[in-house]
Amino acid sequence: MVQSLLTNLKLAKISSTALTRIILVRTGAKYDVWYENRIKHMIDTYSNIKYNSFHVIKDHVYNDEYKTFNKLLMFKYFKDDCQNIYFDLDTIIKGDCNRFLTKELHALKPSWNTLPMNSSILSWQGDYSHIHDKIHEDLDWYYTRFWKGIDEYLWKYFKPKLFEDGFVSFQTEQEEKDYPVYLFNQRHEHMKEKGWWSKYVNI
């Protein structure tokens, strides 16, 4: 199921023709609706992104060990010419995110681990459905080869371009600094605790 919320906002400034679509993925039991509601609140209040539609993918299709393959469904479902931007649910948005709107597929360049990329934010326009379709060449093999998650898969086969600034990981910077985006990176439980981030998540 893809839950959709359409809006009547004006076209995004990214181009004269591209409509802007926000995408979240919430499958399984790890994240409850609290996270979905809070990130929508932060996008609406702080991101300055003028979007035309808001979608939450809830289809649980894949059963990989690390529970990230369902994120690939966004490339299957959204392959028109709209401007797409995806956010992980364990994200604090506290500033302008228009810098993350791009035509070519982009991910994040992490400074907090040795992986070449991070998919907490993904941005693209057009048809990238081949990213999803490739795993069906041999699904069990891809489950085994990329059991730690899809980031290594995306980098090995598709080499997204990388954003290098505008975000930071809570793993390496726990005090509030002047970053538009904080990634809680598997520390999502902390988002419900009291901290400097509370003023952003409180509705």
Q: How far apart are CA 149 and CA 145, in angstroms?
A: 9
**Per-residue pLDDT band at 9 (split at 50, 70, 90):** very low
* CB of 118 closer than 8 Å to CB of 108: yes
pTM of full prediction above 0.85: yes
Q: Is 3.90.550.10 the CATH classification of the domain at 2-201?
A: yes
**pLDDT given at position 15:** 40
Q: How far apart are CA 149 and CA 155, in angstroms?
A: 11
Greatest extent of the chain over all pairs of C-alpha atoms, in Å: 46
**pLDDT given at position 17:** 53
Cα 128 to chain center, whole Å?
15
- Residue 28 region by backbone torsions, left for phi larger than 0, else alpha for psi between -120 and 50, else beta: left
**pLDDT given at position 113:** 86
Direct distance between the N- and C-terminal alpha carbons of the chain, in angstroms, rounded to an integer: 26
Q: Which residue bears the tokens 């809570």?
A: 170
Residue type, 85: I
DSSP 104: S
What's the number of CA atoms in the CB half-sphere (13 Å) around residue 193? 6
pLDDT at 142 over 80: yes
Lowest mean pLDDT of 55-64, 70-79, 165-174, 183-192, name the range: 183-192
Chain segment 143-188, per-residue pLDDT in tens: 999 999 999 999 999 999 999 999 999 999 999 999 999 999 878 8
DSSP 186: T
Residue 196 neighbours by CB under 8 Å, 6+ apart: 175, 176
Sheet strand arrangement including 161-163: 2-6, 53-57, 20-25, 83-87, 118-125, 106-108, 161-163
**Per-residue pLDDT band at 8 (split at 50, 70, 90):** very low
Mean pLDDT value across residues 176-202: 94
* CB of 93 closer than 8 Å to CB of 43: yes
- 3-class DSSP state of 24: strand
